[in-house]
Amino acid sequence: MMPQLNSNALREACGRDELIRKAAAQIIKDFAEFGFEVSFSGNVEGFYDEVFKQMKVHIVQIMGEHYSQFLNFLYRIDVTEGQVSVYQSEMGDASYEDALTELIIHREMKKVMIREYFKSQGPSQENDWTEISE
């Protein structure tokens, strides 16, 4: 069974140090593809604040200077403008940039959770998938 990917599951996942480190690595990788540097000290307690601030600076920059690149960025991270609007409305008075940054963090954590799920299924699941896709 696939892992739950709702808000409660994300909160619970935030308690797993290794998952946080992997999410940070995924964020760093995705931002680097667009020439943006994001760093993570490894302090899992400060993960959110540490990466949020850095990510938001880059998001504001790319939105203001290169809108077509911004759309490519959203596509790469697998986030739609509609999803950002939903997050923004759920967050109350949050800015678009804050909602987008939060959504990206959640999306990157989901990517890691899904990857972990499929790794835990072992090679037999991989073989099943290979047979289906061929």
Which of 119, 109, 114 lies closest to 16 in space, CA to CA?
109
Q: What is the pLDDT of residue 133?
A: 40
Task: Look up the domain containing 24 and give its range.
Answer: 7-120
Domain count, the chain: 1
In a domain, 2, yes or no: no
- Provide the phi-psi class of 59: left if phi over 0, else alpha when psi is between -120 and 50, else beta: alpha
Distance CA 2, CA 26 (A): 20
- 36 contact partners, CB below 8 Å, separation of at least 6: 58, 61, 62
Query: Whole-prediction pTM value?
Result: 0.77
Mean pLDDT, the chain, integer: 82
In a domain, 127, yes or no: no
With 0-12 CB in 10 A as exposed, 13-18 as middle and 19+ as buried, what is 53? exposed
Closest CA to 63 of 74, 51, 79, 78: 74
95: three-class secondary structure by DSSP: coil
Show pLDDT as tens, one digit a residue, over the chain (134 residues): 444 445 455 555 555 788 889 999 999 999 999 999 999 999 988 898 999 999 999 999 999 888 888 899 999 989 988 898 888 888 888 899 999 999 999 899 888 888 887 777 766 555 554 444 44
- Nearest-angstrom CA–CA distance, 63 and 70: 6
pLDDT at residue 59, as a whole number: 94
pLDDT value, residue 12: 58
Quick check: is 109 in a domain?
Answer: yes
pLDDT at 105: 93
Task: Answer whether residue 84 is part of any domain.
Answer: yes
Count of Cβ atoms closer than 10 Å to residue 106 Cβ:
19
* Residue 132 resides in a domain: no
Residue 77 lies in a domain: yes
| Amino acid 124: pLDDT | 57
Residue 17, in any domain of the structure: yes
What confidence score (pLDDT) does residue 22 get?
Answer: 92
Residues in the chain: 134
67 part of a folded domain: yes
